[in-house]
Amino acid sequence: MSERPTALITGASRGVGAAVARALAPTHDLLLGGRDREALAKTCAEVPAGRSWPVELTAVTEADVAGIDRLDVLVHSAGVAPLGRIGETPAEVWRRTMEINVIAVAELTRLLLPALRAAGGQVVLINSGAGQRANVGWGTYAASKFALRAFADALRLEEPGLRVTTVYPGRVDTDMQRGVRDQEKGPYEPEKYLNPDSVARAVLTAVTATPDAHLTEITVRPSGGPVN
């Protein structure tokens, strides 16, 4: 049985989640969460320390976390980013966004709290610049990210034995960002965006901080690029 710490990463099949997996692989055993089994298998091939954990996060149950008795790090990276003006956004979009970006995070954290407490572990939430400032057309997404920020703040107060870190990246060069730019009908300019590995380094910094240090919030912006 490995004596290395264990990290569970959601959204690990691509983008920031996969980058976090690569960053933590040298020091952690990994559970790589996501819906796309084929994509998860590719990430596992990149990080031999990883084991696929295929799950639908909006329907996670106690059975899905059975056997996880001790967890050192939980990284919430999965999410969706629908855009649209409030007057044009129906209720089902709001519900779906909140379900994936907030409620699924809260429920998975709740189910894993015993394992996190056993390890004196850490929860890392990949938020967004939209969790600090809302822009036109970003109401649904920003509301979910502001809610995620509140969740992190409450969890930090309620679970003093855990470290809880919120990471606020600006735009990142990912498939999700391509979808965002398509919705904005703007050009995709990866040179103006963060590399996923840069966000992963911020996560690594929080996770490897000395025991006396609790990095509660980290903001990462692309040099010379857009804020949101």
Contact 204, 28 (CB under 8 A): no
Judged against a pLDDT cut of 50, whether residue 1 lies above it is answered with no
Domain assignment of residue 183, yes or no? no
Domain assignment of residue 186, yes or no? no
Domain assignment of residue 225, yes or no? no
What is the reported pLDDT for 225?
57
From 141, 168, 188, 193, active-site residue: 141
Judged against a pLDDT cut of 90, whether residue 10 lies above it is answered with yes
Tens digit of each residue's pLDDT (9 = 90 or more) over 41-57: 889 988 988 999 999 99
Average confidence (pLDDT) over 127-139: 95
Judged against a pLDDT cut of 80, whether residue 226 lies above it is answered with no
What is the reported pLDDT for 205?
98
Residue 212 burial (CB < 10 Å; 0-12/13-18/19+)?
A: exposed
User: What is the Cα–Cα distance from 34 to 11, expressed in whole angstroms?
Assistant: 5
Average pLDDT, the chain: 94
Q: Which residue has the higher pLDDT, 53 or 175?
A: 53
Residue 93: alpha-carbon gap to chain centroid: 20
Q: How far is CA 102 from CA 6, 99, 186, in A?
A: 23, 6, 28
Give the domain range for residue 94.
6-170+196-220
Known catalytic residue: 193?
Answer: no
Domain assignment of residue 190, yes or no? no
**Of the candidates 132, 114, 129, which has an alpha carbon nearest to the alpha carbon of residue 74?**
114
Domain assignment of residue 131, yes or no? yes
Tens digit of each residue's pLDDT (9 = 90 or more) over 177-203: 888 898 988 999 989 999 999 999 999
- Please name the amino acid found at residue 129: G
Contacts of 196 (CB under 8 A, 6+ apart): 15, 16, 18, 19, 172, 173, 174
Domain assignment of residue 226, yes or no? no
Domain assignment of residue 28, yes or no? yes
Judged against a pLDDT cut of 90, whether residue 173 lies above it is answered with no
Q: pTM of the prediction?
A: 0.94
Contact 104, 60 (CB under 8 A): yes
Tens digit of each residue's pLDDT (9 = 90 or more) over 14-29: 999 999 999 999 999 9
Domain assignment of residue 153, yes or no? yes
Question: Per the structure block, which two tokens stand in for 92?
Answer: 């089902």
Q: CATH code at 212?
A: 3.40.50.720
Q: How far is CA 67 from CA 52, 64, 70, 143, 162, in A?
A: 14, 9, 9, 34, 20
Q: Which residue has the higher pLDDT, 1 or 28?
A: 28
What is the reported pLDDT for 228?
57
Total domains in the chain come to 1
Q: Which stretches of the chain are assigned E, i.e. beta strand? A: 6-9, 29-34, 50-54, 73-76, 122-126, 163-169, 217-220
